[in-house]
Amino acid sequence: MIRAREIVKEYLDGDGTLVRVLDGLSLEVGQGDFVAVVGPSGSGKSTLLHLLGGLDVHYTGEVEVGGIKLRGLRDQELARFRNSHVGFVFQSFHLIPNLSAVENVLLPSHFGSASLDARKRAEAMLDRVGLLSKKDRAPVRLSGGERQRVAIARALFTGPKLLLCDEPTGNLDAATGAGVIQLFHELHREGLTVLAVTHEERMSSAARRVLRLKEGKLVEEPSAHATPGGGS
Ligand SMILES: Nc1ncnc2c1ncn2[C@@H]1O[C@H](COP(=O)(O)OP(=O)(O)OP(=O)(O)O)[C@@H](O)[C@H]1O
Ligand SMILES: [Mg+2]
C-alpha cells in the first residue's frame, strides 16, 4: 500500500541553515495493515504524513501509495490522488463550525446538498461511526470524541483504502480516545490500511506494528501483536 524509499526532507531554518528532518527514511506498509508511528515532538512525524499523503512534494526519494508514484504528478493529479486514495484525520478535527455533522462529511463530494446519493452516503458514513442520530448537529454541540468521529466519517466518505492520522486522539481524554481507537481497530479489521502518528500508548498497542521515528529514520519496535517467540 505504501512504499517509501530513501526519503530526505530538509527545512530551511529561520537563520537560513538547512535542517534535515527525514534522513534516508524507508517504509513499507502492506495493504490492510495498522501501523503506529511514534517519536518525540519535532522528530518529523507530521512531516512524514504530509509526504505520504501527497500534501508536500518537496523532498528527495520515492513515495508510492496504492501503486501510484507521487513524484512527478502534476497538481491536479496529486489532488485526484488525495481525493481517491487517502483519508486524513487530524488532531484538531478540522470541522467547519457552521456546517452540520452531515454537511461536514459531505465536504469532499463537492456536490453539497445537491446530490441525494452523496447525502445518503454521508449519512451511511455517520452511521458507520455511530453518529447518525446527531447528523444535523453543528460541531459546537458535539463532544470532542463525536467531532473526531465526524472527521473520520468525512475521511471515509470518498472510499479511501488508506487512512493517515496525525495524533487523532491528541485532543481527547483517555476514555473518549479509547472509543476512537476502538473505531480505528474496527476499520482496520474491515480491511482499511491505517497509519497513525500517536503519543497514545493505547493507540500504539492497538496497532499491528509500531515504528519509531529516530534521527530521521524509522525503526521497528516490538509490538503487542508481534508473533510469540519471535525475538532476535
Ligand atoms: N514549514 C516548516 N519550516 C521549517 N521547519 C519546519 C517546518 N515544519 C516543520 N519544521 C521542523 O521540522 C521538524 C519536524 O516537524 P514535525 O512537525 O514533522 O514534527 P512532529 O514529529 O510532528 O512533532 P509533534 O509531535 O510536535 O507534532 C521540527 O523541528 C520542526 O520545527
Ligand atoms: Mg506533528
Residue-level pLDDT at 41: 92
Q: Per-residue confidence at 109, pLDDT binned at 50, 70, 90?
A: confident
Residue nearest atom 28 in ligand 1 by C-alpha distance: 42
- The whole-number pLDDT of residue 231 equals 39
Q: Tell which atom from ligand 1 comes closest to the C-alpha of 199.
A: 25
Report yes or no on 13 lying in a domain: no
Question: Which residue's CA is the nearest one to ligand 1's atom 24?
Answer: 41
Asked if the model's pLDDT at residue 229 lies above 50, the reply is no
Q: Which ligand is nearest to the CA of 13?
A: 1
Which residue range forms the structural domain that includes residue 158?
A: 30-58+83-221
Q: Is residue 133 domain-resident? A: yes
Q: How confident is the model at residue 217 (pLDDT cuts 50, 70, 90)?
A: very high
CATH number of the CATH domain containing 144 = 3.40.50.300
Domain count, the chain: 1
Tell me whether residue 229 is in a domain. no
Residue 16 is assigned to a structural domain of this protein: no
The residue whose CA has the least distance to atom 3 of ligand 1 is 11
Q: Closest Cα to residue 29, out of 4, 50, 54?
A: 4
pLDDT at 114: 55
Q: Is 46's C-beta closer than 6 angstroms to any atom of ligand 1?
A: yes
Please report the pLDDT score of residue 108 as a whole number.
86
Residue 111 has pLDDT above 70, yes or no: no
pLDDT at 224 > cutoff 80: no
Per residue in 39-94, pLDDT tens? Answer: 999 999 999 999 999 999 999 999 999 999 999 899 999 999 998 999 999 999 99
Query: Does ligand 1 have an atom closer than 6 angstroms to the CB of 17?
Result: no
Say how many CA atoms lie within 13 Å of 217 toward its Cβ: 7
Is residue 12 assigned to a domain? no
Whether 6 shows a pLDDT value over 60: the answer reads yes
Whether residue 205 lies inside any domain: the answer is yes
